[in-house]
Structure 1
């Protein structure tokens, strides 16, 4: 077993996934998620990003292939899925698909209470999650009175309160203004968990992620963020090069080491 495989916490092997009566969305897809890594999952609408996340979360049984969790094939019986949800939490793109309680505290406490935790332990988890997501001041606010960005954060707090080893986020920055995106990604970077973030934003992926996975043609190609300079891959996935790489490419300047920030680009240019 290689060092990379030894640190895998979640993955998919030869995964074919989709919906009954329709062609597969993914076919023979492979992905390895290593413990502690920040991964950006990219691809156009309809490419299979959400299908992949739902499969990894156990919400969508594979047609063929395997989802692995901590080295074991994921079963889809009730006991296996219950254990899997302690390990992996999925936050959907639309927070209104997950928020249903009267107020923020009730909503965030739903998961911990359903783990059978004592009320005091559940309360401690809720307080911790609200603080991590910067929404402690919203604890007693009715969920229907939250802004869109606040609802996003509360939905993520509900997942964080479960203390998962892996947090799967489907387009968490969609609909947020630039300040909201910066605040959320800074928060995610501070979480002590593995994070997989599905996004269309190649600039964000290059700046934030340790690894990237590009979904296209029913397959997944995975690598370090320099993969976002692969013109052929980006063309298939209908993505553009991140601005950092595009600028240096036009100037004929090197992209090794990989520039992620404005400061990195400025150093290469010499200003």
Structure 2
């Protein structure tokens, strides 16, 4: 990668985080099961209903704070930071819809297309290996039985998929781009040594990539996993990720937002 390309990509990521999150600094997080200083414990709670599900409150270095609601055949990932988007998908077609309630807009992608592109280009956010090698041991988060894997300079804790549809794991991996080992990631941290691929700065420290603050069993409404009616379709996921207000005045960075766009805008 050339020096000029690295500088451009660094500018791109810094701009995107500043415009959409308000602060390029990763969200501060507590250990798994702890309390986040950046989000209300009740933020992102789904509407109650009869469908058994798992509800997680998490943080990721790119997405910030968000919640994930997972049933056997549906998923809802809801940003509770300034990104403010919601991702939903469910059986049988598993079309991935990303929408936002402030602008009343959405973008849809077929499952296969989303599994390849995710929420952002790999140029902007690093995609880690899907599986890490290591001896699995049992662990717990609240009342949930989890698996912990310690690999070379990295640690993963995940919730086994169980009877949940395999499409759920694929959607999560494509969205957060951290290892899953075939399950639902709860914690992922790794030791980074050498030069940062984007900034070129030297680093030698442990980094928490994803953390879970809270996990519990809930019962939710079917509309948790559905796209609301009456929303206007936009041409790209990027337009649904970042609000019109935050994107206003960003004409100089139009080409940046074009990176990774789905030119087809197809739905299944």
Query: Which TM-score applies when normalising by structure 1?
Result: 0.26
Which of the two has higher C-alpha Rg? 1
Give the TM-score normalised by the residue count of structure 2: 0.26
Give the number of the structure whose residues are more often strand, by fraction: 2
